[in-house]
């Protein structure tokens, strides 16, 4: 059995996933809990329990959606309903191995040379790698690609604005779009009997050849492609990576639609290489593993 070099934790909108990691990023032992959204003390307590169970002498890396300072304070994480929580300090009390708190999507994008990465989950996060280095930005807040506006005045986004790509291509947005379609059509379909409608239930229906479910996912992919065109025009990456559960599940319908919409909107598509859109190899684990390995690097255990 390989030795554990770190604990990686992904704090998502609906679940906490924690695991001990080998030096190559392999997952050794994995634990899951529901995210106690909106209850900061409970969140800190749950994370402490997970660390205690996995090994309180290991470096701990946490990936979490939102604005995270370089020192590991979570300033603004609306999907988890956490505001101004010094998570690095809190978790420093439950492990002797060192703590790294990073934006989940930024953590997931590590290890590539020139990358635009979007993570599709409850929300949409992102990470940008330029010349092999993760772009942190002046305050450490770079990579919030989910709030690129693709349709000013468009669909309401959980961030309070309208028209952000998160309002079109997140798992939650796919669920909402399906509900909207069902409410405005008489078309039959597997989704009629599903409650609640989520990205997951829409994906399951798409797998069973439900036409409406596939159209909803393709529409999300179209909008994703609109956002990606802007990002590829701005940053000219070698590859576009998609991470997060909603991307992995919807890929067969989402990715072709996104590729077509992106290509059509790139400047001079016939005069350039078009970057491929691929699933991040670690899929839903990318943020957790990226954060854990970052913690191990900082602690010097790898």
Footprint of a copy of itself (CB under 8 A): 66-67, 75-76, 78, 83-84, 113-114, 126, 128, 130-131, 133, 135-145, 147-152, 159, 161, 223, 226-227, 229-231, 233-238, 264-268, 271-273, 275
How far apart are CB 86 and a copy of itself at their closest, in Å?
13
* Closer of 97 and 237 to a copy of itself (Cβ): 237
* Closer of 60 and 64 to a copy of itself (Cβ): 64
77 in Cβ contact with 83 (< 8 Å): yes
Which residues of 172-285 form beta strands (DSSP E)? 239-243, 277-279
* Closer of 26 and 137 to a copy of itself (Cβ): 137
Residue entry with tokens 């229906």: 205
* Closer of 54 and 231 to a copy of itself (Cβ): 231
How far apart are CB 300 and a copy of itself at their closest, in Å?
24
Interatomic CA distance for residues 247 and 284, integer angstroms: 9
Instruction: State the distance between the two ends of the chain, measured CA to CA, in whole angstroms.
Output: 17
157 in Cβ contact with 164 (< 8 Å): yes
How far apart are CB 129 and a copy of itself at their closest, in Å?
10
253 in Cβ contact with 206 (< 8 Å): yes
How far apart are CB 163 and a copy of itself at their closest, in Å?
8
How far apart are CB 191 and a copy of itself at their closest, in Å?
25
Interatomic CA distance for residues 65 and 75, integer angstroms: 11
How far apart are CB 164 and a copy of itself at their closest, in Å?
8
* Closer of 8 and 140 to a copy of itself (Cβ): 140
Edge-to-edge order in the sheet of strand 60-64: 27-34, 15-21, 6-11, 60-64, 99-103
Three-state DSSP class for 288?
helix
How far apart are CB 51 and a copy of itself at their closest, in Å?
26
* Closer of 6 and 11 to a copy of itself (Cβ): 11
The torsion of the CA quartet 166, 34, 110, 297, rounded to 10 degrees, works out to 150
Three-state DSSP class for 61?
strand
* Closer of 38 and 188 to a copy of itself (Cβ): 38
* Closer of 43 and 228 to a copy of itself (Cβ): 228
191 in Cβ contact with 149 (< 8 Å): no
How far apart are CB 19 and a copy of itself at their closest, in Å?
28
223 in Cβ contact with 177 (< 8 Å): no
How far CA 51 is from CA of 23, 32, 77, in Å, comes to 18, 12, 21
């Amino acid at each position: 059995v390989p030795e554990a070099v770190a604990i990686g934790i992904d704090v998502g909108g609906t679940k906490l996933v924690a695991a001990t990691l080998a030096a190559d990023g392999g997952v050794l032992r994995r634990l899951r809990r529901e995210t106690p959204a909106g209850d900061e003390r409970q969140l800190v307590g749950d994370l402490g329990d997970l660390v205690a169970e996995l090994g309180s002498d290991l470096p701990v890396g946490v990936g979490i959606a939102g604005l995270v300072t370089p020192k590991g304070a979570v300033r603004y994480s609306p999907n988890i309903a956490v505001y101004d929580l010094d998570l690095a300090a809190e978790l420093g009390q439950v492990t002797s191995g060192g703590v790294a708190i990073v934006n989940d999507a930024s953590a997931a994008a590590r290890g590539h040379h020139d990358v635009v990465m979007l993570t599709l989950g409850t929300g949409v996060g992102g990470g940008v790698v330029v010349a092999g280095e993760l772009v942190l930005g002046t305050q450490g807040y770079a990579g919030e690609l989910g709030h690129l506006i693709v349709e000013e005045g468009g669909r309401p986004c959980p961030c309070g604005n309208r028209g952000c790509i998160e309002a079109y291509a997140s798992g939650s947005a796919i669920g909402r779009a399906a509900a909207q379609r069902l409410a405005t059509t008489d078309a039959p379909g597997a989704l009629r009997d599903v409650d609640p409608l989520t990205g997951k239930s829409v994906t399951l229906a798409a797998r069973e050849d439900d036409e409406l479910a596939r159209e909803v996912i393709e529409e999300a992919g179209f909008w994703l492609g609109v956002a990606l065109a802007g990002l590829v025009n701005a940053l000219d990456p070698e590859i576009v990576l998609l991470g997060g559960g909603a991307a992995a599940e919807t890929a067969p319908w989402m990715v072709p639609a996104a590729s077509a919409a992106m290509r059509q909107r790139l400047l001079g598509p016939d005069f350039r290489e078009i970057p491929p859109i691929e699933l991040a190899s670690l899929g839903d684990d990318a943020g957790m593993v990226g954060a854990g390995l970052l913690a191990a690097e900082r602690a010097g255990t790898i």
